[in-house]
Amino acid sequence: MMKLAYIPAGEFIMGNRLTEEEIIQRFEKNQCGYDSGHLVHQVQLSRGFFMGETDVTRGQFAEFINQTHYVKCENKHIFLFPV
Residue 12 has a pLDDT of 92
Domain of residue 47 covers 1-52
pTM of the model: 0.51
**Distances 81 to 27, 64, 65, 69 between C-alpha atoms, Å:** 34, 12, 11, 7
Q: Are residues 41 and 71 in the same domain?
A: no
| Total domains present in the chain | 2
Summarize pLDDT for 17-64 with one digit per residue, the tens: 777 777 677 666 554 555 555 678 899 999 999 999 999 999 988 898
41, 28 contact by CB (below 8 A): no
Q: Are residues 23 and 40 in the same domain?
A: yes
Q: Are residues 35 and 7 in the same domain?
A: yes
Summarize pLDDT for 54-71 with one digit per residue, the tens: 999 999 888 988 888 877
10, 47 contact by CB (below 8 A): no
